[in-house]
A and B are shown apart, each in its own frame.
With several copies, the nearest count.
Chain A
Amino acid sequence: MRVTVRYFAALRELAGRPSEALDMPVGATAGAVRMALASRHPAMAGPLSACAVAVNQAYSDLERTLEDGDELAFLPPLGGG
């Protein structure tokens, strides 16, 4: 299955792009995506561990089982306001 990861702030700068698509095995969790990203972009491994997880534009967690077409984001510490 295919999921989309969107990047923001420091992660977007590390990735050098606003989003990327990943092929993941059926039943993969958000945590598995995080591991895949950390191995694909080693500089992201540290920042990713400080990120909250969003799936389909709502807060979720690393145990969340994904479905084909899901949109993920790892959210660095917020700075709004």
Chain B
Amino acid sequence: MAPIVRITREPLDQTAMDALETAIMHPGAGGLVTFEGIVRDHARGKRVRWLEYEAYPEMAEREMRVIVAEIATRWQTDAIAMVHRVGRLAVGERAVVVRVACAHRAEAFEACRYGIDTLKATVPIWKKEIYEDGEEWVEG
């Protein structure tokens, strides 16, 4: 069972989520923590119509693998899935998913939090918010 790292244009729907879980779960995993980043309807006080995510795909997957390797070392688990969507995303859709399974819950929480925090800081992905009256590339 290898970690899953992926930049994808496909929707992260329930079927995709179930496949991620099946792929990383194993009989020694007692705690599974999942972060799902969802497109919100408001940002910076404006109503968001949709988002466009863009990645530097080769480098993004490379940086994601760096994060996964760090998690494997610090929290002793390979049961990690890290997937980021690109393209046009509607309000309510999943933009990013980080799932980590560990023997115990404390490590799973820490590893998942480290995963999403580091992804935001180092993985080359950009987000454009499209409002009723304009659009903007936004940080964070």
- Say whether A and B bind each other: yes
A residues adjacent to B (C-beta < 8 A): 6, 8-10, 12, 54, 57-59, 73, 75-81
Residue contact A54 to B55, C-beta cutoff 8 Å: no
Contact B128 A78, beta carbon cutoff 8 Å: no
The 5 closest A-B pairs by CB, nearest first: A80-B125, A79-B127, A9-B126, A81-B120, A57-B59
CB within 8 Å of A: which residues of B? 37, 53-56, 58-60, 62, 84, 95-96, 105, 116, 119-128, 137-140
* Residues of chain B contacted by A78 (CB below 8 angstroms): 120-126, 139-140
A54 and B56: CB pair below 8 A? Answer: yes
Is B137 a contact of A75 with CB atoms below 8 Å?
Answer: no
Chain A residue contacts of B137, Cβ below 8 A: 9-10, 76, 79
A77 to B55, CA, bound (A): 12
Q: Are A80 and B84 in contact (CB under 8 A)?
A: yes
Residues of chain A lying within 8 A (CB to CB) of residue B123? 78, 80
- Residue of A8, A57, A58, A59 touching B126 (CB-CB under 8 A): A8
Question: Of the candidates A10, A12, A58, A79, which one forms a contact with B62 in the assembled complex, judged by CB atoms under 8 Å apart?
Answer: A58
Q: Are A73 and B56 in contact (CB under 8 A)?
A: yes
Q: How far is the CA of A9 from the CA of B137 in the complex (A)?
A: 7
